[in-house]
Structure 1
């Protein structure tokens, strides 16, 4: 790649260390500045000076920045970068509130800058293959998207609950996979671990085109699960984003005449296919998309835009509103 971009990174915690690793391996990019008021706990700075705030990245004159600070600081850091004319990707969720997310999106859009959100599931090989197959009509009409995202509590999360941390993955990927927006939400949450934020949520929703969505998300399970099931008129796709595996369960065309099976088979049973997928690291693919967007290269994968990130925050707030009120929230 002919042009070299300089990148900055603010936030050197659990996610920041992975961003640093990928930025250092990315063709056409040089990691030029890092910052974190808490120092460099994972020793990812290498020979770079560790700044204490976003001004360190601005003073370094980087072309773009990756923001991996706690969500409550996103607006402050992001707006400072936008005002300095620096493209940026902020880790998800875009912001803690819809208002904050809207101000961030406007700050980058008004200046013609690339503003992206780190919804990494969009770059998972299984979901990218699934989305491409849906575009080709392999499922016919979409009926339902169902996700399960469960696992133990991550000690790194302190400023938001499971809805705005984990569930935003599923909100974003569902709207993207279905190419439809949420129109209503009904939710229940629970607080079981003694923290001020919810650690379990179950919610259902309706998307444009009467597509039904349902999501189970928690930090309370002693196992890790990341499953997306998309059901339509021709069968179901099942994506496991932990292993990046994708299977298709086809509706069959053969009648079941064996009486003891026919009673509980439901729709006719068809072939099951597991697809061979090229499995590149999602974070690397995400960074390649960001680099290409900054360079103005068209026709690639594309980033998750801040407008899309804003829509996800809006749905997440509807989830919390529905849980608090006991009512269905219309979007």
Structure 2
């Protein structure tokens, strides 16, 4: 098996995680890193015994594929520069800062015939994989997604839609098989000029309803999916790696010559989840697709579809077309800000 040369562009906390995983993959050589901060690039390169390249072009000349983990505003510029040099790319979410930039990435990939994967990591979460298997035999009526985080650990170069909700927009469309027909978003700005808390109701053409909660002002990290189906109620904890299924209940009445008694009988199943790191599964999939030319599980078109939906939601929220966005909010005292 030919060794695949990979690089990482942007070696902040997420980019460094990519370096760690690439070093552990069989048949993969971490050929180098590039970061706009030269000191940080050297620090990470030394830690992972690789090369810190002085320019993006220098890295592109020495790799077959690369992860892009730079700030969101630079994703399109970096991705297109690498694609034009024939380098396959995995772009961390969100794919770009706007749907227009995402379209430009898609066009560059088509024109140059270069593979692009978008880093919607939850698609590789073993909990989500098992959930999709369960949904092959049940028919969702309603879905609730909760993705909550503290402000201090959130990505503050994007609002809560692009930072957190974008994950669940992708998952909801993947589960249903297409985009929604109606959107009902509301949101609030708490600690920044961008949306920090948002709730979204979506209706799909088949009648399914999804409700998404995204918060970066909640002092508890939550990653949870609840599905109400005709056949069962399912709870999936993406963070703590568990799935519980509640089958339909049967009312039972008994008297046995005694006062009538009532109880509910039902089945509860706990699904075993394989132990695996989602990032390792995601990067292994990327490497395999580069080697074989297979279409990635999350392609550039999937990333574009999610960006287009996110942009529709943000237009509704920021341009006064949503009921909550028309409400004035009281100023947040400076001492209350993180």
Q: TM-score, normalised by structure 1?
A: 0.89
Aligned equivalent of 1:306:
300
Aligned equivalent of 1:54:
56
Aligned equivalent of 1:170:
168
Aligned equivalent of 1:116:
117
Contact 2:6–2:29 (Cα < 8 Å) also in 1: yes
- Structure 2 SS opposite 1:34: strand
- Structure 2 SS opposite 1:222: coil
| Matched positions, count | 314
Structure 2 unaligned runs (5+)?
A: 255-259, 324-338
Q: Could you say what the CA RMSD is over the residues aligned between the two structures, in angstroms?
A: 2.1
Aligned equivalent of 2:284:
288
Cα deviation, 1:38-64, whole Å, max 9, x if unaligned, reads 23549431333323442132132x110
Aligned equivalent of 1:265:
none
Aligned equivalent of 1:7:
6
CA separation of 1:185 and 1:59: change in aligned 2, threshold 3 A: same
Aligned equivalent of 1:45:
45
Range with bigger deviation, 143-152 or 47-56: 47-56
Shift of 1:296: 1.1
Q: TM-score, normalised by structure 2?
A: 0.87
Structure 1 unaligned runs (5+)?
A: 263-267
Shift of 1:179: 2.2
Aligned equivalent of 1:153:
151
Distance in 1 (CA, whole Å) between partners of 2:113 and 2:78 is 18
Q: How does 1:204-215 map to 2 (within 5 A)?
A: 204-215=201-212
Answering whether residue 321 of structure 2 is matched by residue 319 of structure 1, we say: no
Range with bigger deviation, 148-157 or 66-75: 148-157
Aligned equivalent of 2:100:
99
CA separation of 1:199 and 1:271: change in aligned 2, threshold 3 A: same
Contact 1:33–1:56 (Cα < 8 Å) also in 2: no
Contact 1:8–1:66 (Cα < 8 Å) also in 2: yes
Alignment equivalent of 2:271, drawn from 275, 278, 302: 275
Shift of 1:180: 2.8
Shift of 1:327: 4.4
Shift of 1:33: 1.5
Distance in 2 (CA, whole Å) between partners of 1:114 and 1:59 is 17
CA separation of 1:168 and 1:53: change in aligned 2, threshold 3 A: farther
